[in-house]
Amino acid sequence: MTAEQNERTLEESIVTDLKDRMTYGSYLDLDRLLGAQHPVSKPEHHDEMLFIIQHQTTELWLKLVLHELGTARDRLAEDDLRAALKHVARVKHIQEVLTQQWSVLATLTPTEYAEFRGALGNASGFQSVLYRGVEFALGNKNERMLGLFRDHPENLALLTAEWERPTLYDEFLRLVARRGLPVPQEILDRDVRLPYREHPELVDAIRVIYENPHEHWDLYEACEEFVDVEDNFQFWRFRHLRTVTRTIGMKVGTGGSSGVSFLQKALELTFFPELYSVRTEIGR
């Protein structure tokens, strides 16, 4: 094969005069996006670019997760469960990408990270407003987190809106109640600004769905989709924990947390407790 043969011919119809036209770069604002990596280590450490891009891409995916969860809640409030589940399905695929990304950061060895970690100051993923927004949207609300963003009005407004808004589970349970299933009124009237707590009496309503799947197929499917979301979230948390463990061991986090032990505690949190409790009751 000659060099000439190993070259793709540029089709005549391809637009090459891009003056005064929208381009790929301008549409995606790539000048800003690709210019947003600013290593702070002196001299600049090679692996800091990996660290920055890993976290920036995570933030972009979290922004999309929150966007999808917002629309999913809108559709649930409109009794359009099928449309809501389309957005939930997209969230699940994003979660898979987020979890797989940890394998890239895990290539950063303890020695390499130690060479620029000190330059990060108190910057920490704990301070991610989008991560907190996703947790709030799924039910793990904590008013104290709002204080982290008191000096950033835009982020504070975003997180406050999520704190005051019903969670994905709240909207689903309201839909279940409108379908005539016995959701306790206490749940329907709860203060949505509080973290969701398990209500054992709700398990009976969830059990009706699971034991009569053909009669409540879309609700049954939704329950399993939500369990997928929680499982994926836990896998993400676990991979985070393991990546941190292999990179910094038991050191204190840059944001002041206890590090690994702090992340370990997050594995005990749950968004949809009754969807797990019902499994103990089915078939009894």
Annotated binding-site residue numbers for substrate: 51-55, 113, 117, 254
Burial code of 238-265, b = ≥16 C-beta within 10 A, e = fewer? bbbbebbeebbeeeebbbeeebbebbee
CB within 8 Å of 210: residues ≥ 6 apart:
220, 223, 278, 282
Contacting residues for 209 by C-beta, under 8 A, at least 6 apart: 176, 181, 216, 219, 220, 223
Where residue 283 falls (left for φ over 0; alpha for ψ -120 to 50; beta otherwise) is left
Contact 128, 59 (CB under 8 A): yes
CA atoms within 13 A of residue 104's CA, in its CB half-sphere: 16
Binding positions: 51-55, 113, 117, 240, 254
As annotated, the binding site for heme includes 240
Using CB atoms within 10 Å of the CB of residue 274, give its burial: 0 to 12 exposed, 13 to 18 middle, 19+ buried. buried
Torsion sign over Cα 141, 143, 146, 147: negative
Cα pseudo-dihedral 276, 191, 68, 200, rounded to 10: 10
